[in-house]
Chain A
């Protein structure tokens, strides 16, 4: 009975995660994009927690905690700060596809992934559990939906959110397919944070002229200069 209800909750969570991905594709306002991403990660953490309750594997508990700390709190907060400083609120221009066509394309993708997976993955033992196919399909579809966001939006910040969504999809996919060693999960999160950092710093550069870019970085340079001057003064005193 308990197992059945866990299954039901898991189903609801999966559908909600898919819905957040659809929202990310449709939204233009960057601040609400960041919030949606944070909500999606929260759902993902709940999912991992649910699995921990069911299987009792500590790896999943750690995974839930890592997701909660990094993706629900740190990354969205960081992106929020960057967004405020860049002062970009919406993206208006799109490559190739408008949001509506993107949504239609992603519906097609979900169907296609479902068909492909139900034929390819049927050889696995886990295939018989009812949630497996749903979870794997939604995970994979979210990866593709994130990719649509990366390649159709022009703002770098939105691209980063697309990439992060893709990564959430991968985690969801791996959650249903198998249990990866914890070390690998941790390293992936570290990698994710690093790439986010690099891309965001670059976003400063692309959205402003080079002089502004340097002016923004200047506090850092100044402090470095001051430090080196102080060292020189000290050396002079010693002599």
Chain B
């Protein structure tokens, strides 16, 4: 933990003093890479779960390490991608060179806030770090010179922080409840888990609903999703990838933790259906909006809403098997989504827009981006061989045990999602029109292509080959959560 903070602060200081884009970029790659190495090291050599930093404010357990692995990996690739992308943005006057430093500082701060949010054992600390992720990611969205970005960011900040206040009320309720039972209040997740079964179910249920509101807003669950598509589509592509893969999973992580506590009480069936209901609502509304979308990044953004909904359904089903695959789905979704946003970023620099009417002759100008979009689409709709296929299938099978209607509904939704993506991509990629004279090909640098290749290879490799270590890791997470 101390090492994390030390590396983070030193990289930040170096970023502040460094002058060229190159050094700032390399530093931003080093930070997530070192986090990745540290996390792997802890995972292999340290005794887990363990408290860190004295006291019991921070807890290192398998779930937090797993989420940090995903985040650090994505941040590393996003930093690699940023160099080419941000240079391009500066060239087309989307961004000023003077805001480069701000961009990288906020980028690294965001990674640190996310890491500490995952490590926090005290729920109030987790809340504060989650709020900080909102603040830093807001800076990253507003960095481009466009009035629309400011509007999108304001929407983002207001919706999430307003809802997060409700979460805090839920936390106060939990604190009061424990004070009532134990004499001294606590918000530590591990101690809450041990006494959860003695807490009053009615108040716990109320507290769960309050906390759910805030964390759902962070992860873009309907009806608190209004900020997500606009923020994701206006942000620079690497930032969209991070928002979609890491920041939303902070919200889901919070819901998992609170759900684990609440599931120890007798209200478990009610809470499960509550989660499944919200999940289904998100999926239905996101899918209907996706059907007539003309903006590529908005389409991908709504797909995030839909996938977050599916994660909630998986969580709500709550059997160990569903939980196992739901956790794996988090990883598969984050990687696939990042590759899609990265490809969309290349198209954005080619056509200065991601709207359907401005994009034409993709195969002629950007064959690489076209193919990566096709592969990414195949992965995200859950075609066999992609990493999303197996978790989707397994959660569907589990849902059938709960209710055949649920399975039926989910299948129809997936059909529509596949349709929406398919139609959009066919329309987008098959447009062949006369070019306006003087259109030049945008040369995407190697640094922009490598992350996409790495992500897609990982996604399809995980689809056919499931490493034993990952299996063990996920199993230990499920056994630590004690749900179901």
Q: Is the CB of B158 within 8 A of A123?
A: no
Q: Is the CB of B175 within 8 A of A178?
A: yes
User: Would A163 and B162 count as touching, CB distance under 8 A?
Assistant: yes
Interface residue A92 (Cβ < 8 Å from any Cβ of B): no
B96 to chain A, nearest CB (A): 8
Q: How many Å from the CB of A125 to the closest CB on chain B?
A: 5
Output the least CB separation between A17 and chain B (Å).
17
Given contacts A121-B203, A166-B165, A170-B165, contact A202 B154 (CB under 8 A): yes
Give the segment of A20-28, A33-41, A45-53, A184-192 that binds chain B: A184-192
A123 touches B172 (CB 8 A): no
* Cα distance A173–B202 in the bound complex, in angstroms: 19
Q: How far is the CA of A221 from the CA of B202 in the complex (A)?
A: 56
Write out, one digit per residue, whether chain A residues 163-177 have a CB within 8 A of any chain B CB (1) or not (0): 100110010011001
User: Is B185's CB within 8 Å of the partner chain A?
Assistant: yes
Interface size class of B (residues with CB under 8 A): 35 or more
Residues facing A in B145-159 (CB within 8 A) are 145-147, 150-151, 153-154, 157-158
Cross-chain contact of A195 among B124, B131, B172 (Cβ < 8 A): B131
Stretch at the interface among B31-39, B135-143, B332-340: B135-143
Expressed in whole angstroms, the Cα–Cα distance for A175 and B168 within the complex equals 13
- Measured CA separation A198–B140 after assembly (Å): 12
B135→A194 contact, CB < 8 A: yes
A174 x B172 contact (CB < 8 A): yes
Q: How far is the CB of B296 from chain A (nearest CB, A)?
A: 24
Please judge, given known A-B contacts A124-B176, A170-B169, A194-B135, whether A206 and B128 are in contact too, CB under 8 Å.
no
The reply to whether B180 and A126 form a contact with Cβ atoms under 8 Å apart is: yes
**Interface digits, B98-113 against A, CB 8 Å rule (1 contact, 0 not)?**
1000000000000000
Given the known interface contacts A120-B206, A123-B202, the answer about A202 and B175 at a Cβ–Cβ threshold of 8 Å is no
Kindly report which residue of chain B lies nearest to residue A160, judged by CB atoms: B158
Contacts of B147 in A (CB 8 A): 205-206, 209-210
Q: Is the interface of A mostly helix, strand, loop or mixed?
A: helix
A143 at the interface (CB under 8 A from B): yes
Contact B145 A210, beta carbon cutoff 8 Å: yes
Interface assignment of A59: CB less than 8 Å from any CB of chain B: no
Interface size on A, residues (CB 8 A): 40
A198 and B49 alpha carbons, distance in the complex (Å):
37
Q: Are B166 and A195 in contact (CB under 8 A)?
A: no
Residues of A within 8 A of B98 (CB): 221, 224
Q: Are the CB atoms of A195 and B169 closer together than 8 Å?
A: no
**A145: shortest Cβ distance to chain B, in Å?**
12
**Of the residues B124, B153, B173, contact of A202 by C-beta under 8 Å:** B153
Q: Which residues of A contact B (CB under 8 A)?
A: 120-121, 123-126, 140, 143, 147, 150-151, 156, 159, 163, 166-167, 170, 173-174, 177-180, 184, 187-188, 191, 194-195, 198-199, 202-203, 205-206, 209-210, 214, 221, 224
7 A–B pairs (Cβ distance < 8 Å), ordered by A = A143-B166, A147-B162, A170-B168, A180-B124, A202-B154, A210-B147, A221-B98
Residues of B within 8 A of A (CB): 98, 124-125, 128, 131-132, 134-135, 138-139, 142, 145-147, 150-151, 153-154, 157-158, 161-162, 165-166, 168-169, 172-173, 175-177, 179-180, 185, 200, 202-203, 206
